[in-house]
């Protein structure tokens, strides 16, 4: 397990009511190596291995810490290629672990747990069911990531979407610019992007019935040598691949390069809007498209470039950002100080 001691730095906050800071630095120390983040109820939730750390957004004081490594009640089995995720619900907190779902009270008390099928990532409740991605569905020589709807007992009800996995175990093909299956749950709807088809999102209800499709025409961005060099550097510095060694990874893999960048890198649905992170970037800014829930474009915004989560986290659909209150919260590792920094930048008002 990860044991590094990190300092959590609040490096930049726009002026907000309720006590946040204006371009000031706030330091918070702790054992901390982030794996995912989310915000709910004026709290910042950080997942670090088996631990969930909860910070007050007002002053970033640590409110509580719960979860631990193990195989007993309320404990999480470590898996080198697995990233736990957390969903904050109105009356409890759900943590999706490697082999089980664990329910905690809002103050971090263990409530109950339920076994789940191995290989299901990002189980998110919707109604009386769950949406989740099955990571290792193989047909012939092709491995797929499949988005399915499951009942409360983990029984599959309906497949909503599938796409070829960026990593093909049978043929050892590796997408060097991984195009991952991303989905989001908002209220009683499931949103899934199908970027291999273009700028496409499909929307389903809580029973898994198809509702409508959003499709946009946006410019295709050719993959250049600069993109390839950046991707290779990212692989060389990835924590998991550094242990394996890039040359060994290269020997074991067949590199696959797309002709164009994915039109949708990832997305989030928050505040009744769809925030789409595109592959368009300029002057160290990334372009986002903000849509209403029906797909009408509200505006586009150039936001700070985000650090990518480690490769295995990205393949599991885990990001180093979250959106709340029309603001982008993102984590960034400062290599000079070996500290993590939290930044907040507001999206512009609707134009």
CA–CA separation, 311 and 318 (whole Å): 10
Q: Give pLDDT tens digits for 97-128.
A: 999 999 999 999 999 999 998 889 899 999 99
- pLDDT, residue 325, reads 92
Entry pTM:
0.90
- pLDDT, residue 350, reads 60
User: Mean pLDDT across the stretch 183-210?
Assistant: 97
- pLDDT, residue 31, reads 41
Do residues 77 and 97 lie in contact, with contact meaning Cβ atoms separated by under 8 Å?
A: yes
User: Residue 282: which pLDDT band, with cuts at 50, 70 and 90?
Assistant: confident
Q: Could you tell me which of 281, 279, 280 has the C-alpha nearest to residue 265? A: 279
Q: Give pLDDT tens digits for 225-281.
A: 999 999 999 888 888 888 888 899 999 999 999 999 999 999 999 999 999 999 999
Burial degree of 206 (CB within 10 A; 0-12, 13-18, 19+)? middle
């Amino acid at each position: 397990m990860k044991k590094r001691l990190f300092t959590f730095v609040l490096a930049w906050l726009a002026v907000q009511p309720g006590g946040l800071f204006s371009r000031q630095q706030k330091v918070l120390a702790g054992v901390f190596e982030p794996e995912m983040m989310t915000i709910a109820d004026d709290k910042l939730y950080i997942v670090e291995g088996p631990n969930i750390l909860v910070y007050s957004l007002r002053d970033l004081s640590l409110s509580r810490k719960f979860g631990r490594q193990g195989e007993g009640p309320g404990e999480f089995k470590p898996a080198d290629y697995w990233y736990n995720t957390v969903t904050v619900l109105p009356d409890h907190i759900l943590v999706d672990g490697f082999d089980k779902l664990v329910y905690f009270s809002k103050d971090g008390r263990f409530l109950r747990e339920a076994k789940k099928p191995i290989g299901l990532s990002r189980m998110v409740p919707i109604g009386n069911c769950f949406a989740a991605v099955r990571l290792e569905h193989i047909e012939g020589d092709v491995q797929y990531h499949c988005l399915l709807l499951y009942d409360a007992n983990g029984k599959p009800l309906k497949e909503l979407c599938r796409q070829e996995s960026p990593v093909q175990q049978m043929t050892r093909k590796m997408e060097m610019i991984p195009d991952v299956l991303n989905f989001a749950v908002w209220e009683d709807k499931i949103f899934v992007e199908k970027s291999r088809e273009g700028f496409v999102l499909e929307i389903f209800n809580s029973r898994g019935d198809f509702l409508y499709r959003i499709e946009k025409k946006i410019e295709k961005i050719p993959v250049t040598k600069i993109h390839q060099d950046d991707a290779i550097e990212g692989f060389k510095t990835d924590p998991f691949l550094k242990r394996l060694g890039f040359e060994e990874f290269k020997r074991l893999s067949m590199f696959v390069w797309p002709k164009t960048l994915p039109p949708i890198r990832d997305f989030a649905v928050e505040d009744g809007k769809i925030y789409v992170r595109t592959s368009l970037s300029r002057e160290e800014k990334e372009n986002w498209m903000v849509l209403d829930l029906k797909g009408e474009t509200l505006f586009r915004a150039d936001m700070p470039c985000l650090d990518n989560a480690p490769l295995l986290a990205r393949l599991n659909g885990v990001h180093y950002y979250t959106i709340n209150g029309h603001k982008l919260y993102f984590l960034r590792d400062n290599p000079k100080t070996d500290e993590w920094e939290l930044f907040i930048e507001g999206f512009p008002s609707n134009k």
